[in-house]
Homo-oligomer: A and B are copies of this chain.
C-alpha cells in the first residue's frame, strides 16, 4: 500500500538526515524556537503513538509512560508537558533510547496497519507523515542554527549544497522578468483530493487588483546594495516594530552573515563560506524583507497574489515572506480534539510564507501551502520576491 510505503520512507528519511551527527549534536537547544535533534526524533514518533496507536490498538503498551510529558509539543488536550525552553535540558532519554522508541513505534504501527486501515487511521497517518516531513525541515534549520552559533562553525555535511545559484544577475531590473496579473476574481485554497492542511481550506474567491510580480527571488547582490547604501540605518523604510527589533538586537546583516577583512562570509550547512552575490538571499526576517521592498519602492506580494501568480513563477527554493497575516479562510473548520490544535490556534500575529525551501522534504510542497512564522524569525530559509 502506497501510504505504508510513504510511512516507511519518511520515517527512514528522518534518520538519514541524522547520519552526519555526533551524539552530542542531538542534545543541544540554542534558542527557544529551536529543538534538539533528539527531540524531533522523539516527538514525531510520539505523534503516531499518541494519536493512532493509543486510540486504535486497545492492547498497545506505551514504550515509556513519561514520554508523553517529554515529547508532547503544544497539545493542551493531551495533558501536561515539558516547557518548550527546557527541551535542551534533558540528557536523558539517551539518543539510543530514542532510536529504540522509534523502532518500537514503527513496529507497532506496521502491525496495526497490516490489520486495520479505516478512514480515520488513513487521515491521521497521512497527517502524521506530513507532520514528520515538516519536522525534517525544522531538524535541518535547527541544526544549522546550532552549528552556526558555535564558535567552531562545524559543518553539518561538507558536501551538502543548499546555496542556490541563479543565472540572472539583476533579476528584478529587467522587464521580461515580471509577470503581469489582471484585476479580477480568482479562486484560492486547496481543492484537490489529496492531502492538505486544514488551513488551506476551504477554497474561496478573492478579488485582486492588477499587479506585476517578479519571476525570481532577490539575490545576495541586491541585498548587499541595500546594506551598503545604508538601508539598515534608514528609518523611513522600516516598520516601527522592525526598527525596534533591529536596534535592540543590533541587526545589520542577514542571519549567519559576518564580515571579515571587508569580505562577506556566511555559515552554511557545509561550513563557513564566502557569500556568492549571485545566489538567492536567505535568512532574513519579514522586517528586513519589508524594508528592502520599501527601499526598492516596491512591496511584498499578498499570499493571494502569490498563489494566483505561482504557476508562472520559479518557486520552491526559498520560503517567501508575504504581506499577509496568518488568519482563517472563510469557513475554516478546526478538527475535534487535540488534532484541532495543529493550526488554528496560531492564527494571530504571524505572517504567511509561501513556496518551499531547499530544506523542504520532497512531496511536501504545493502552491496552496500556507507556512507561517513570526515577523522577526530568520532561521528558516526565507527569501524575498518583489511586487510592483
Chain A positions near chain B (C-beta within 8 angstroms): 22-28, 30, 38, 66, 69-70, 74, 76-77, 82, 88-95, 146-147, 149-152, 154, 185, 204-207, 209, 235-236, 238-243, 299, 323-325, 327-328, 330-331, 340-341, 345-349, 375
A24 touches B94 (CB 8 A): yes
20 A-B pairs within 8 Å (CB atoms) are namely A24-B92, A24-B95, A27-B27, A30-B89, A69-B151, A70-B152, A76-B235, A82-B151, A88-B88, A89-B150, A90-B151, A91-B146, A185-B207, A204-B209, A205-B207, A206-B206, A209-B331, A236-B341, A325-B349, A349-B349
Is A240 touching B348 in the complex (CB atoms < 8 A)?
Answer: yes
Measured CB to CB, the nearest residue on chain B to A210 is B330
Look across to chain B and name the residue whose beta carbon is closest to the beta carbon of A287.
Answer: B348
Interface centre among A91, A205, A235, A349 (most CB of B within 10 A): A91
A74 to B327, CA, bound (A): 29
CB <8 Å contact, B349 and A24: no
Please indicate the chain B residues that have their CB under 8 angstroms from the CB of A22 in the complex.
91-92, 94
Question: Judging by beta carbons under 8 Å apart, are B152 and A66 in contact?
Answer: yes
Chain multiplicity (copies): 4
- State how many angstroms separate the Cβ of A163 from the closest Cβ of chain B: 22
Judged by DSSP, the binding face of A is mixed
Whether A236 pairs with B70 at a CB distance below 8 angstroms is: no
How many angstroms between the C-alpha atoms of A325 and B348 in the bound complex? 8
Bound complex: CA A241 to CA B77 (Å) = 16
In the complex, which residues of chain B have a beta carbon less than 8 angstroms from the beta carbon of A154? 91-92
CA distance A168 to B313 in the complex (A): 54
Residues in B with CB closer than 8 Å to A323 are: 327-328
Are B151 and A66 in touch, CB under 8 angstroms?
Answer: yes
Q: Which of A26, A325, A341 has the most CB of B within 10 A?
A: A325
Docked-complex contact B349 and A241, CB < 8 angstroms = yes
> Contact at A150–B90, with CB atoms within 8 Å?
yes
Tell whether, in the assembled complex, residue B90 and residue A28 are in contact, meaning their CB atoms are under 8 Å apart. Answer: yes
**Cβ contact within 8 Å between A236 and B340:** yes
The residue that A88 contacts in the complex, of B28, B69, B235, B340, with Cβ under 8 A, is B28
Residue numbers in B under 8 Å from A347 (CB-CB): 239
